[in-house]
Amino acid sequence: MRLLTHNMLSCNIKGVSNGFPLRLEAEKWVEKEVELNADFLRGIFPKIEWKALAGAARALGYNELPDEADASMLDADDFLRRFHHALLELHVEEGALVCPETGRRFPINKGIPNMLLHEDEV
Amino acid sequence: MVLSVLRVARYFHEVLEVSIHPLDAKKFCSKEVLQVSPSIGFLVPIYTYSMSTSQSLICVQGFHSGTSLSSINSNGKPESKESMSSCEDRTCSLSVQSTPDIEKKYVHRVYDAIAPHFSATRFAKWPKVAEFLNSLRPGSIILDAGCGNGKYLGFNPNCFDIGCDISPHLIDICARRGHEVMVADAVNLPYRDNFGDAAISIAVLHHLSTEMRRRKAIEELIRAVGKGGLVLITVWAREQEDKSLLTKWTPLCHKYDEEWISPSSSPLRNSSTMKLESIPEADENCHRGAKESNHVHNQTTEDEQESKDAAVVASVSPGISEDCLSTSIDQNEAQQEYFVPWHLPYHRAEISGASASALASGLAKKDDKKGAMVYNRYYHVFVEGELQSLVSGIDNAVIVDQFYDKSNWCIVLEKL
C-alpha cells in the first residue's frame, strides 16, 4: 500500500464521522523507486490531505516532509522529490490502519489492506 | 388449514396490516425476511397466514434491504412502493450494506474458488472501456471498484489506478502484478469523498441482488470522484446478442428462495407451505408464467436477507406446485435473476484446492462429461433502461453517455 492510497482511505463503519485519516501502524515496509512525474505530482497535490501524508510518512520513519505545504512549493525540485518519495515510493507490506474514532484495525497483509467490515459494523 | 401464529417481538417500524380474503391466502407469498441485528436487538416477526375468516397478513413496513416490501393487497398483488420511501431513507440504509446470503454463496465464494482460472480468461479489453480510460486526462486517479483480476488496472499508463474487489484471491492476483489494490466492498467504499478523477464498475453491479444495493454502489462511485469526475458502469444485459446463452443459465426459481433465507435459521418454518418443486438441472428450463415470476421475482430479489437468530419466516410461493408452468425462455420476459455456470476444469480445480469442500458444501457439482466442476454465479441481468432508472433519483450526477455494447448495458455519469 502506497501512501497515496492511504491518503484516500477512510473508516466506513456505520455512524463514524471521524474516520480519516487512518492511523498507520507499519510492521514492514519497503522502498521501491519509480520515475518522478512532476505533472502528476502537481495534478494530485490539491487532493492530498497534507497532514495525513506527513503523519503517515513519519510512521514509516520518513521525516523529510514539511508539516505544511502549499502549491508554490511544487516549483522546487527538492520538495517534489520528497513529495514523490513519500507518496509513491514507500510501500507498506505488513501492518494495520487504525480508525481514529473507533480504534478498529484494518489489517495490511502483503501490501493489501483489507477494508471489509463485519456484519455488525454496517 | 394453517393456524396462524403471529408473533411479533419488539420492532421499530409500523406494522402494516392487510386484510385478505382467506381463499386468497394460499396463493400469497408472505415471505418477509428481516435481518436480525444483534446491536439493535430486535427479533424477527413471523408471518404466516390462516384460513380463518378475518385473518391478516402482517407485513412489517420499512425493513432493511428490501426496496419493495411485499405488502399484499386483497387481490394478491404487491402494493406499490410509495409508502416505503420514508422508511427507506431512515432505516433501509442500515442493511443495504449487509451482504445477502445469495451473494456470499454465489458470488463471493465462487469467485474465490475460481479466481486463478477466471483471471486467466480475463484478458481481452473491451474497446469501449479502453476508449473511456484513454480519454481521461493524464495524471487522473482512476478508481476501479470490483476490479476482478485487475484487467483494466494500469491500462492507461498516464493515470494512477486504485482497485478494489471483494475477492481476496482475485486481489492477490492484482497485487502480484504490482497494482495498487485492496479488499473492499463496492457497496461501501472505504474512500473519502471526491478523491478520484474517474471511476469504473465493469461487470459488477449485476452481482448485487437488490435494487437498493445496486443503487448504493452507484452512489458510492459518484461520491468517490470529484466534481466533473466521470463514472463508467457496464452490466450484463438481459437482452443478450446470443440468445442461446440464456438457455445455459438457470433462472432462479423457488428452489433458490432458500438461498436467500439462511438454511440454518428456520426451526419454525412451516414446512407444509414450503413445498418446493424439485428443479431440473441447469440445462433444462424451469419457468413460471410471466405474471407469477414477476410477482415472486419482486418478492425474492427485494425481500431477501439472512436472518441469523430469527425465528422464521413462512414462505409461501404463489401456487408453486400447481402453477409452475413450463414456458420457453422467450416468453419469460420478466426473468432477470439467474445462475450462470462457470466450468472449472478438474485440473484447475485441483490446483486451487477448492474442489473437495465445494462439492461437500454443495457449492459446485461435477460434470464428468466436460471434465469440470460447475459453479453457479448469481446474476441480476439488466433490462434496457434499468441503469437509467437506477440513477434517476441521484441528483448529483448526470448521464453523459449510454449505450449497448456486446450484450452489456453501459452508462457514463458525470458528477456535478
Cell of A81: 522529490
The number of CA neighbours under 13 Å toward the Cβ of A18 is 5
**What pLDDT does residue B352 have?**
56
Whether A40 and B139 lie within 8 Å, measured CB to CB: yes
- Any chain B CB within 8 A of the CB of A1? yes
The number of CA neighbours under 13 Å toward the Cβ of B212 is 30
Residue for grid cell 502480484 = B176
What is the C-alpha separation between A97 and B102, in angstroms, rounded?
A: 30
Cell of A44: 494530485
What is the C-alpha separation between B183 and A115, in angstroms, rounded?
A: 6
Q: Interface pTM (ipTM) of the complex?
A: 0.97
- Any chain B CB within 8 A of the CB of A30? no
Amino acid type, B100: P
Selected residue with higher pLDDT from B86 and B227: B227
- Please give the residue of chain B at the shortest CA–CA distance from A116: B184
Lowest mean per-residue pLDDT among B37-46, B82-91, B168-177, B185-194: B37-46
Query: Which of B234, B227, B218 lies closest to B392, judged by CA?
Result: B218
Q: Going edge to edge, which strands form the sheet with B160-165? A: B180-183, B160-165, B141-145, B196-202, B225-236, B408-415, B397-405
How sure is the predictor about B250, in pLDDT bands with cuts at 50, 70 and 90?
confident
Selected residue with higher pLDDT from B69 and B247: B247
Pairing of strands B337-345, B250-251: antiparallel
Give me the mean pLDDT over the B29-39 stretch: 37
User: What are the φ/ψ torsions at residue A62 (nearest 5 degrees)?
Assistant: -105, 105
Continuous H helices in B98-235: 101-103, 109-121, 127-134, 168-176, 211-224
- Any chain B CB within 8 A of the CB of A38? no
Fold of A3-114: N-terminal domain of TfIIb (2.20.25)
Provide the whole-model pTM.
0.71
Residues of B in contact with A43 (CB under 8 A): 137-139
**What pLDDT does residue B76 have?**
42
* Chain B contact residues (CB < 8 Å to A): 37-39, 94-95, 97-98, 137-139, 141, 160, 162, 164, 166, 168, 171-172, 175, 180-185, 188-192, 194-196, 226
What is the C-alpha separation between B167 and B258, in angstroms, rounded?
A: 24
**What pLDDT does residue B359 have?**
83
Query: Which residues lie across from B183 on neighbouring strands?
Result: A114, B165
Cell of B309: 437468530
Positions of chain A with pLDDT under 50: none
| Cα three-residue angle B304-A119-B190, rounded to 5 degrees | 105
- State the best of A37, A114, A115 to mutate against chain B, taking most chain B CBs within 10 Å: A115
Whether B183 and A119 lie within 8 Å, measured CB to CB: no
> Residue B116 in contact with residue B174, Cβ under 8 Å?
no
Domain ranges within chain A, ordered by starting residue: 3-114
